[in-house]
Amino acid sequence: MSKITVSDELAQKVPQLELGCIECDVVMQPVQEELWKEIQYKIIELNSKFQIEDISIIPAISASRKAYKTCGKDPARYRLSAEALLRRVINRHEIYQINNVIDLLNLVSISTGFSIGGYDADKIEGDITYGIGELNEPYVGIGRGELNIVGMPVFRDVAGAFGTPTSDSERTSVSMETRRFLMIIIDYAVSQQLKEATVFAKELLEKYAQATNFEIKNIR
């Protein structure tokens, strides 16, 4: 796993930030039927528990929205990925089906409220820093095109920005050719739930992506 650090600027603004990082070898599949059934059950469960107005007060999402505002980004305009997923679950009773690895990542996200980055580890160049986006910093989000990341928490390697809690980038995106996968669970409030989410993610990776050769770290 690449060395991962939090910039001084972000650490000062969000002192309770913690990252749960999992890197492993995976076997990609376009569809994993048992996983998709589990996701459908979770969608039914969430719709029985939540209304759309409840999403913003889920603890992980509330903390994430507060962090965005502190860093200078409007979480209503640049919606966090976990919040966007949950809004789709409640509004439409569905989420996108992508592939087994991204689908299981999304299951962890809707189950916990954490925004989660998912990257092809072999596309990351050098060490990783989690900082704050700068003015005119280039970034192409998956399915979003050019994204204004100024004031947004952002992962960078030596080649530049490659991940945000709103949208991962095309440059490090997971594809059917991915063999080494990096998942970063972002907790802005230091909660016991991060440990539980990390364990859950590892179990799903083993069950639905035949994951092996794990490296797991917590970064504060």
Give per-residue pLDDT as tens, 69-98: 999 999 989 999 999 999 999 998 989 999
Only one residue has tokens 């299951």, namely 107
Over residues 95-124, mean pLDDT = 96
CA distance 95 to 217: 29
Q: Give mean pLDDT, residues 142-163.
A: 93
Protein fold of 4-219: Phenylalanyl-tRNA Synthetase; Chain B, domain 3 (3.50.40)
Give Cβ neighbours of residue 33 (< 8 Å, ≥ 6 apart): none
pLDDT (tens digit per residue) in 154-206 = 999 999 999 999 999 999 999 999 999 999 999 998 778 999 999 999 999 99
**Cβ-based burial of 139 (10 A; exposed 0-12, middle 13-18, buried ≥19):** buried
pLDDT recorded at residue 173: 96
What distance in Å separates the CA atoms of residue 160 and residue 144, rounded to the nearest whole number?
Answer: 18
Nearest residue to 164 (alpha-carbon basis) of 96, 78, 87: 78
**Sequence letter at residue 152:** M
Quick one: which of 60, 201, 204, 137 has its CA closest to 216? Answer: 201
Specify the pTM: 0.95
Phi, psi (degrees; rounded to nearest 5) at 31: -140, 135
Average pLDDT of every residue of the chain: 95
**pLDDT cut 70: percent of the chain above it:** 100
Q: DSSP string of 65-87?
A: HHHHHHHT--TTTS--HHHHHHH
Which residues, listed in sequence order, are joined to residue 117 by a DSSP beta bridge? 184
Query: What is the pLDDT at residue 5?
Result: 96
Whether 105 has a pLDDT exceeding 80, the answer reads: yes
Domains of the chain, by residue range, sit at 4-219
